[in-house]
Chains A and B, each alone.
Chain A
Amino acid sequence: EAQVTQNPRYLITVTGKKLTVTCSQNMNHEYMSWYRQDPGLGLRQIYYSMNVEVTDKGDVPEGYKVSRKEKRNFPLILESPSPNQTSLYFCASSFAQTPYGYTFGSGTRLTVV
């Protein structure tokens, strides 16, 4: 089944404790992206990647890191999480040349206390 898989689905952590949210897609998509969803703010793009080793900042990159060492994986790293990073996170992927729009994962609900 073609899909974007995120792990974990739920995570509660403490301020300052480094964490990684994994994302993997099995559709051979070039583009991958991370969004955060907050009530009343919709989805805001954190980082995106156009291919292996090519990443760029989205609209809200502060406090996050990403890497794209393999085409299928695009982990999101929070090196020192803070409570304002409590949010619902979505990973998404798409083909580069055909604008089908992103396919989204099921989301990761992160709470930082």
Chain B
Amino acid sequence: AQSVTQLDSQVPVFEEAPVELRCNYSSSVSVYLFWYVQYPNQGLQLLLKYLSGSTLVESINGFEAEFNKSQTSFHLRKPSVHISDTAEYFCAVSTPQGGSEKLVFGKGTKLTVNP
């Protein structure tokens, strides 16, 4: 079975600073990896995903994540954050071996961007 560990429950940063939200996964088979974002009082939105191919994936709002198989990690980064990036971020894993219906989430990281 797969599992996800998000190493930081809360990350406070100042506006325009860089940020990294850490995610490690555990799986005995190949994986699909996702980052979701949840803005206050809203549902989850898909931010970006890794399925195969290039290990660096990007979102439309400046976030990127890199799949590192040897370190079983999928950390999320942004070089310069905005106040509007304040949200909770969830890393999730599923597998291509008929397991994509079982998307397993980490416990989330609350990113707070301060002025």
Binding between chains A and B:
yes
Complex contact A94–B100 (CB within 8 A): yes
Question: Which residues of chain A come closer than 8 Å to B51, judged between CB atoms?
Answer: 99
Q: Which of B44, B49, B107 contacts A90 (CB 8 A)?
A: B44
Binding site for B on A (CB under 8 A): 31, 33, 35, 40-45, 48-50, 58, 90, 92, 94, 96, 99-107
Which of B94, B100, B101, B106 is in CB contact (< 8 Å) with A42? B106
Is residue B63 within 8 Å, beta carbon to beta carbon, of the partner chain? no
Size of interface on B: residues with Cβ below 8 Å to A: 25
B90 interface contact, C-beta 8 A = yes
Contact A31 B101 (CB under 8 A): yes
Q: Contacts A44-B105, A50-B101, A101-B92 given; 18 further ones with Cβ under 8 A?
A: A35-B105, A43-B90, A43-B105, A45-B104, A48-B101, A92-B44, A94-B101, A96-B100, A99-B49, A99-B51, A99-B100, A100-B49, A101-B49, A102-B44, A102-B103, A103-B46, A104-B45, A107-B42
Whether the Cβ atoms of A90 and B103 lie closer than 8 Å is: no
